[in-house]
A and B are shown apart, each in its own frame.
Chain A
Amino acid sequence: MLAIIVFAVLTIVGFGFFGWNISKVRSNILLGKEVKRNDQKGERWRIMTLVALGQKKMFARPIPALLHLCLYAAFVITQIELIEIIADGLTGNHRMFHDALGGFYTFMVSFIEILSVLAFVATVFFLSRRNLLKLPRLNMKELAGWPKQDANLILIAEIILICFIFMMNGADEVLYSQGKSHLAGEGSLGFSISSLIGPAIFGSVSEHGLHLIERMGWWGHIAMVFGFLNYLPYSKHFHIVLAFPNTWYSNLEKKGKFNNMESVTAEVKLMMDPNADPYAAAPADAAPQRFGAKDVTDLTWKNLLDAYTCTECGRCTSSCPANQTGKLLSPRKIMMDTRDRLVEVGEGIRKNGKDFNDGKSLIGDYISEEEIWACTSCNACVQECPVNIDPLSIIVDLRRYLVMEESKMPSELTGMLTNIENNGAPWQFSPADRLNWKDEA
């Protein structure tokens, strides 16, 4: 009975805390500006299925993609087992579905065990790639400290989780073969991996010891799952959840198209209209608009969802021409900075109310001007991102703020803009000479 109560409390706290965290993340994301992303639903489902579920873009690099798929499949399929664990935990049963499902039960658990072994291999590979091989994109300076720890922590947790699964099933296998399992019956449970390694590892352990190992595995498993669930919202691993909405809300336009700023259109129309009343006051309820983005709240909610979804894999940065040639710009850092700042602003608003202002901003305190001016708008980062994140649109909005609100830009660009305004070309040529090429030899 005590076990049931402890379990029930753990479950409620586990899910409750997760729910609370999710609502915080949601309210942070909704601090962003509106952007419409719910047209063409069929196309959106298609992209989500291919890119998030099918991990299509990962397969540009097949080996890590395959290993990642093992880890992901193991993770998803293991959750089926969770249903039984929760049912057992709340009713005090043991392997509740075993008898009802019969051969299918054996098949499912066997399948989970095989995936777990594959996931184990993948995890070891990923850990060594990160820490021993020191793959450049996984060892850049923006990952120093917490991001690196975060990545390793989750991989180690995965290994521990897999160990718990095999403790649970392995010890139960030995108990069952001795007719001492809490599951009635005798012989072998017949699970693919644990029926082999169970007897080999735990064969000589006493009955009492076996029960202890089995329970440790069982409680360990569920504890890890709830731990993981609640760790997610603080970690880059949140992508296993957010990859789905993030790809669904993908930008469906051509990548070259920068969004149109309607606030500017209104003003330009007024400027170009000879009949407009230049002294007409702006409508009283018009909120003072800021052009471009100074801080995270000036970005769209999709930019903010992108930031939470970022896996910090660095595929964007490793394909970025500016980064490859030693410039400060790293599109991954743009995403990480956006997320860090958003968490800070979100906390601030929750503590101090809507008008929270800590005097800091995304541009300046997190992202420097030097970074954003190094971008060639080549879209390589957008192309590469396995979860359809768009770092470029954040860069552009930061530029817009600097240029239109602060008139801050590299001096050559000031000249270029003046030329366009004065003579309709980015260089100093007279518009009257535009067709001269026709008669030049």
Chain B
Amino acid sequence: MSVLKVPTMAEMMAQGETPDILFWVGCSGSFDDRAKKITKAVVKILNKCDVKFAVLGTEESCTGDPAKRAGNEFTFQMQAMMNIQVLDGYEVKKIVTACPHCFNTLKNEYPELGGNYEVIHHTQLIQGLINDGKLSIEGGGTYKGKKITFHDPCYLGRANDVYEAPRALIEKLDAELIEMKRCKTNGLCCGAGGAQMFKEAEKGNKEINVERTEDALETSAEIIATGCPFCNTMMTDGVKNFNKENEIQVLDVAELIANAADL
């Protein structure tokens, strides 16, 4: 594996350089073993396309999303203001993130606290790179003809009306995109949002991720594509619940692209 180039903001500054874009890695992307692979896939794509980017590294901190969804506005705003101080200190203008929760919070909830940035989701960034001819996938790559279904993350889809970018990327793979019966605006949640990721579900008769995995299995796709580290975890657990790990894979769209482009 080639060595990843992951400059930090501090390093760049020290060299008197300013990156074009900040990659906001997020807590999952930094600490969760599965999500770290997604982070690396994004970095591989950025490196391949020579995107001048940087990360905050140890200066990054939770956006405060789970605190806000859980109802603790104090913790959220403390986090937000600390992050804004750091971001503004580096004069950050544009941010890409691989987590729809970070994306939503940075994009929609930071401006009222004084943090104004152009924030995009990694699928949008990659779509731009492909459209600009910086990245190409020869003949669709490994996934040519494969059946892929896309699970809409609530905080990307309904919350922010981004439905097309991830789908456009799957089409670039020359794969067969099969929609689940509930998709786009009608997509069913994976069960992790609203701070549910961090707690047991309330008493019920089923887990939400199992319900959603059933939708995915019904499509008889070989791959469930997602664009969110939480969705990824939930769907992976759902697939395990049905003992289908050998038949259906759960991968982030960034991983699909990185694999297909042989990165």
Contacts and interface: CB of A to CB of B under 8 A. Distances in A.
Report the interface size class on chain B: 35 or more
A325 interface: yes
A403 B154 contact: no
Given A426-B66, A434-B60, A437-B36, A378 B154 contact: yes
B75 interface: yes
Nearest to B189: A378
A151 B217 CA distance: 38
A328 B202 contact: yes
Interface string A397-408: 001111110000
Contacts of B195: 377, 413, 416
Nearest to B36: A437
Interface in B194-238: 194-208, 210-212
A432 B30 CA distance: 11
Contact of B193 (A378, A417, A438): A378
Contact of A321 (B62, B64, B155, B208): B208
Contact of A417 (B4, B70, B104, B159): B70
A324 B161 CA distance: 24
B134 to A, nearest CB: 23
Nearest to A267: B74
Interface in B7-32: 8, 25, 27, 29-31
A322 B73 contact: no
A413 B155 contact: no
A421 B58 contact: no
A268 B109 CA distance: 15
B160 interface: yes
Interface in A45-63: 60
Contacts of A399: 70-71
A214 B10 CA distance: 88
Contacts of A374: 201-202, 204
A322 B201 CA distance: 9
Contacts, number: 212
A378 B79 contact: no
A256 B71 contact: no
B194 A413 contact: no
Interface stretch (A189-197, A257-265, A296-304): A257-265
Nearest to A271: B78
Interface string A231-256: 00000000000000000000001111
Contacts of A424: 60-62, 79
A425 interface: yes
Nearest to B74: A264
A325 B203 contact: no
Contacts of A269: 81
A103 B94 CA distance: 66
Nearest to B78: A268
B78 A421 contact: yes
Interface string B27-57: 1011100001001100000000000000101
A410 B200 contact: yes
A253 B30 contact: no
Interface string A373-407: 11111111011000000000000100111111000
B202 A256 contact: no
B62 A420 contact: yes
A426 B62 contact: yes
Contacts of B159: 254-257, 379
A261 B109 CA distance: 11
A238 to B, nearest CB: 27
Interface in B90-149: 104, 107-109, 112-113
Contacts of A254: 104, 107-108, 159-161
A95 B105 CA distance: 63
A325 B158 contact: no
A291 interface: yes
Interface of A: 60, 253-258, 260-261, 264-265, 267-269, 271-272, 291-292, 319, 321-322, 324-329, 370, 373-380, 382-383, 396, 399-404, 409-410, 412-413, 415-417, 420-421, 424-427, 429, 431-438, 440-441
17 contacts: A256-B160, A260-B113, A264-B77, A269-B81, A271-B78, A321-B211, A377-B69, A379-B154, A400-B71, A400-B72, A402-B71, A403-B71, A410-B200, A421-B78, A426-B66, A435-B57, A437-B36
Given A415-B198, A420-B62, A433-B30, 9 more contacts: A267-B74, A272-B81, A376-B189, A376-B193, A377-B154, A383-B186, A404-B71, A434-B60, A440-B36
